[in-house]
Amino acid sequence: MAIDGRHNAVALATVALMTDPRKPIEAHERFVGFADILGFRSLTRSTSTQALAHLYQGTFARVAADAAAGGRSEHLLTTLNVRLFSDSVIWWTDSDRAAEFISLLQALRYLLAAGMCTGLPMRAAIHHGDLACGPLTFTSTKVLGETVVGTGLTNAYELAESQEWAGGVVADETIEKYRLLAQTVGAAAPPPNELESRGHVHRFPVPVKTSSGVAKVDHWAINWPGVLNTQVGADAIRSAFTDHGKTVDTASVRAKVDYTVDFVRVAGKLSSD
């Protein structure tokens, strides 16, 4: 097959990927988390790229790193893989052990709480499924890349994007997977029937997008307010949505604020100011 000059580089890279003799990429069942910042479009329009870079490096990246290191629950630390890209954070575990699920859940609890405290409210989701990840290899050492692909990531992304608040959920089938895994482990993973009583998650009617608008759907909501040291007021939650030049001047954003306040109230962390 003839290859013209325009496609030569792509063709060479493709051949390199197909013929590289090193260890092939493999898919494994893992727990996968996805989170993104709400109001990111407004943030980029109101903030210079330089200021945004400082915000990310000094705040967002630090928060993600702290969360990946266990947040306030370092004794639960297991290996977590984290990648930041634009407004999104992708997380995955090395395997699907019960203890790894708990570490990922704790990390996202901390991430959501810290994001709210730093004016970067987020939405997130945890799912379980196949994920393949590994470095890309090319003929040129100046071309670097990584593959992260699989149903676990796709499902986590779709579940996160469906939500209309600042918060996160764990897919029902992922909770069921944890129930099965946790039957054979010790203290590293709380008994499944204690996930809610210990404050990790709450069964809650989460606002999600539907073809006709927004509906409340029961989900296992990630209890991020539970890691806060103090009560938080509705005004403080609202200001998180406006920090760094973001705006709440739409009905959709105001609704997200109200839904978020409702959850903080149910979690027992809303002050009376």
pTM greater than 0.95: no
Both tokens of residue 154?
Answer: 């796709």
Asked if residue 200 is part of any domain, the answer here is: yes
Domain hosting residue 148, numbered range: 24-266
Asked if residue 209 is part of any domain, the answer here is: yes
Asked if residue 14 is part of any domain, the answer here is: no
Other residues' Cβ atoms within 10 Å of the Cβ of residue 271 = 13
Asked if residue 10 is part of any domain, the answer here is: no
Give residue-wise pLDDT tens across range 116-163: 988 889 999 999 999 998 877 777 777 778 888 999 999 999 999 999
Asked if residue 19 is part of any domain, the answer here is: no
Asked if residue 5 is part of any domain, the answer here is: no
CA-nearest of 173, 63, 159, 43 to 107 is 63
Give the CATH number of the domain where residue 184 resides.
Answer: 3.30.70.1230
SS3 state of residue 268: coil
Q: Look at the chain and report how many structural domains it folds into.
A: 1
78 falls in which pLDDT band (50, 70, 90)? low
Asked if residue 234 is part of any domain, the answer here is: yes
CB 116 within 8 A of CB 240: yes
Both tokens of residue 53?
Answer: 């870079």
Asked if residue 80 is part of any domain, the answer here is: yes
For the segment 239-258, the average pLDDT, to the nearest whole number, is 88
What is the distance between the alpha carbons of residues 159 and 206, in angstroms, rounded to a whole number?
11
